Amino acid sequence: MVDRRVAPQTLPSRRRILEHFRERDPKMAQVIQAGGPFGLKRNRNYFVVLCRSIVSQQISIAAADTIYARFQKLFDGKSPTPQRVAGLPEDTLRAAGLSRQKASYMKDLSRRFLDGTLRPRQLNTLDNEAVIDRLTRVHGIGRWTAEMFLIFSLNRLDVLPVGDLGLLVAVQNIYGLKTRPDAKRVRAIGDKWSPYETIATWYGWRSLNADIVNY
């Protein structure tokens, strides 16, 4: 795979965002109008973002928030770091609500940060697919987790996580679908959002949870 480089993306104004969605997808424009300013912030603590993404795999936003809060309490008010997570027994991670599999993923992630195998700061200039390819080589990090990294660490504006449960539920609600959409249906809808798929996804999440969505 040849790594392709990208230039830094600039967040469009709220006016430009609304103009884009009113022209391409009026239903999503209404959600954005009601949702207030776009509040996505860049979290440069790459390890924390990846930890939270692992916690959040295949569970609801509310469940992920609860488990991650318990996970954070393990560090007595300090930020999770590779060293601190590596020093915890897996049973301690499981007692916070992590499955056995997710606890092993968290430990492996810590080891890879500590031995220099994973250096996320090098990913900032790569295009989305190249970043996903790098991250998914790590045990326990799949495409969804890599997409959360693209959104919350690199603030890429054109990410459409079609495997995200929250997005699927939001799309079903927003478009009045009788059943939860599959990836193909979400991609078809997301084509109208391009190149601001991340923005629509964020507002979809916020339509389910009024709190600011950040990692």
- Residues forming the active site: 164
d(CA 153, CA 52): 12
Return the closest-CA partner of residue 21 out of 146, 139, 157: 157
Reduced to 3 states (helix: H, G, I; strand: E, B; else coil), residue 212 is coil
Residue appearing with tokens 């318990």: 70
Q: How far apart are the first and last CA of the chain?
A: 29
CA atoms within 13 A on the CB side of 203: 24
As a whole number of angstroms, the distance between CA 122 and CA 98 comes to 29
Q: What is the dihedral of CA 42, 7, 144, 133, to 10 degrees?
A: -130
